[in-house]
Structure 1
Amino acid sequence: MNLVTLLPFIVLIGAMFLMTRSAKKKQQAAAQMRDHMAPGAGVRTIGGMYATVKEVGEDTVTLEVAPGVHAIYAKNAIGAVLEDAEYNRIVHGASDDLTIDTPVVPDDASSLTLDKDADKGADEAEAPKLDLGKKDEPAAEEPKDGPTGPKGDEPKDGKADGEAGAK
Structure 2
Amino acid sequence: MDPMSLVMFGLIAVLIFFMFRNSKKRQAQMAEMQSNMQPGAEVMLQSGIFATIIAIDEEENRVTVSSGNSTLVVHRNAIGQVVTPVDAPVEESEAATLAPDDDPEFGERFTAPNDAQSITDAATDFDGTPAAEKSEDKNSDKE
Relative to the length of structure 2, the TM-score reads: 0.52
SS at match of 2:94: coil
Give distance in 2, aligned partners of 1:9 and 1:51: 49
What percentage of residue pairs aligned between the two structures are identical?
31
Amino acid at match of 2:33: M
Give distance in 2, aligned partners of 1:35 and 1:76: 14
Amino acid at match of 2:41: A
Corresponding pairs, count: 93
Give distance in 1, aligned partners of 2:55 and 2:32: 17
Give distance in 2, aligned partners of 1:35 and 1:83: 13
Aligned to 1:39: 39
Match for residue 97 of structure 1 among 94, 99, 105: 94
Where do 1:1-80 residues align within 5 Å?
A: 1-58=1-58, 59-67=61-69, 69-80=70-81
Relative to the length of structure 1, the TM-score reads: 0.46
Aligned to 2:112: none
| 2:64 and 2:74 in contact (8 A); partners too | yes
Q: CA deviation at 1:29?
A: 1.8
Query: In structure 2, do the counterparts of structure 1 residues 73 and 24 end up closer, same or farther at CA, with 3 Å as the change threshold?
Result: farther
Give distance in 2, aligned partners of 1:66 and 1:4: 62
Please report the RMSD computed on the Cα atoms of aligned residues, expressed in angstroms: 3.0
Where do 1:132-143 residues align within 5 Å?
A: none
Give distance in 1, aligned partners of 2:67 and 2:9: 50
| 2:36 and 2:82 in contact (8 A); partners too | no
Give distance in 2, aligned partners of 1:64 and 1:2: 64
Give distance in 1, aligned partners of 2:80 and 2:67: 15
Give distance in 1, aligned partners of 2:7 and 2:21: 21
Q: CA deviation at 1:42?
A: 0.3
Query: In structure 2, do the counterparts of structure 1 residues 30 and 22 end up closer, same or farther at CA, with 3 Å as the change threshold?
Result: same
Query: In structure 2, do the counterparts of structure 1 residues 31 and 75 end up closer, same or farther at CA, with 3 Å as the change threshold?
Result: farther
Q: CA deviation at 1:17?
A: 2.4
Larger radius of gyration: 1
Instruction: Tell me which of the two structures has the higher relative contact order, counting C-alpha pairs closer than 8 angstroms and 6 or more residues apart.
Output: 2
**Structure 2 regions of 5+ residues with no counterpart?**
86-91, 99-143
Structure with the largest fraction of helix: 2
